[in-house]
Amino acid sequence: MTLQIDAPPPPEAAPPEAVPPEAPESGASESGPALVTTYLRGPDVQLAPAARGERREVDAAVVVSGLNVYYGSFRAIRDIGLSIRRHAVTAIIGPSGCGKSTFLRTLNRMHELTPTARVEGSVLLDGIDIMAPDVDPVQLRRVVGMVFQRPNPFPTMSIHDNVAAGLRLTGRVAKAELDAVVERSLRRAALWDEVKDKLRANGTSLSGGQQQRLCIARALAVDPEVILMDEPASALDPVATLRIEQLMAELRASYTIVIVTHNMQQAARVSDETAFFTMGEDRAGYLVEQGPTSQIFTNPKHQLTEDYVSGRFG
Ligand SMILES: Nc1ncnc2c1ncn2[C@@H]1O[C@H](COP(=O)(O)OP(=O)(O)OP(=O)(O)O)[C@@H](O)[C@H]1O
Ligand SMILES: [Mg+2]
């Protein structure tokens, strides 16, 4: 049995960035972004072809390979390799404790805020190794923004100042420019109409769903390329959740989005690509398979994925 999907799956047509079969299997062109072959990888599967036995080429914004993350001597994720498609929504799904948040945090080096955490492997953002010592994590987090599970507006700041906060950190910005960025970000986060008459009110005076959109506006204000969302709607009611899902559908035209979610219907509704993680007996999380969301939910390659998406496990 496979899960009933509320929304129709994405069309079967090849994505616009698909390349003809005679194209090389991987590699970067000098003018364009790297074309990277996505693949399945688990403890028993090495470089297995992806959906329906065919190799797929995707325009990847982020390419992760050989990623291991440890907390002290405990290995939380094992040898993860996956690529994250540009201007698409990638959902990370899997049982509690399999390392989804750990994985997400390594994409903008948030793990460095955890003293015991240690990372091996590489994360390439547009071909640049974000783990390199000369990459400034503060700058990186502007390019790879994050939205957390619970809305966390800065409690003493107004709505306006919450959105402007990231920009202010970068130095002096003229007021007119700041106001323009605040308006643009709130519009993109689909919150402007609800707050335009009370920009000086405290950010925490908003509803939970509005606060989460405020946090999304705050992330957008610094003009990121990638937005990481760790269960962004799990603390929200169904109406606010729907609003966030609609917003993701709009944002993916301009941003690369990675979302962790426990909600299978949500993953099926909002994402273009899905990566399923699980964990082994040593409790280390690993990637079972990655592919187009419609394929992962209706025709997964692995029994483990089938069991998870159909609710038999986790
Ligand atoms: N700061 C930490 N120190 C030590 N161990 C940690 C830390 N954070 C996470 N872990 C461990 O790493 C593993 C993965 O945790 P993580 O939070 O990434 O899982 P998750 O898939 O996001 O789970 P959930 O779905 O419950 O949010 C778990 O075994 C967890 O206990
Ligand atoms: Mg988590």
Average pLDDT, integer, range 111-121? 96
Residue 166: pLDDT band (50, 70, 90) is confident
According to CATH, the topology of domain 27-149+226-309 is: Rossmann fold (3.40.50)
CA distance 220 to 108: 15
* pLDDT of the residue at 167: 84
Contact 143, 224 (CB under 8 A): yes
The domain limits of the chain are 27-149+226-309
Would the pTM of this model clear 0.95, i.e. be above it?
Answer: no
Do residues 159 and 203 touch, judged by C-beta distance below 8 A? Answer: yes
Q: Are 60 and 36 in contact (CB under 8 A)?
A: yes
Identify the residue whose tokens are 């440890």.
70
- What is the percent of the chain with per-residue pLDDT over 90, rounded to a whole number? 73
**Backbone φ, ψ for residue 195 (5° rounding):** -125, -5
**Atom 18, ligand 1: residue with shortest CA distance:** 99
Ligand 2 center–CA 30 separation, angstroms: 37
Burial class (CB in 10 A: 0-12, 13-18, 19+), 187: middle
Q: Ligand 1 centre and the CA of 99: distance in Å?
A: 6
Is the confidence at residue 52, as pLDDT, over 50? no
pLDDT of residue 48: 33
- pLDDT tens for 288-301 read 999 999 999 999 99
3-class SS of residue 286 = strand
User: Cα(6)–Cα(26) distance, rounded to whole angstroms?
Assistant: 35
Q: What is the pLDDT of residues 247-276, one digit of tens each?
A: 999 999 999 999 999 999 999 999 999 999
Cα–ligand 2 centroid distance for 14 (angstroms): 32
Q: What is the CA radius of gyration of the chain?
A: 19
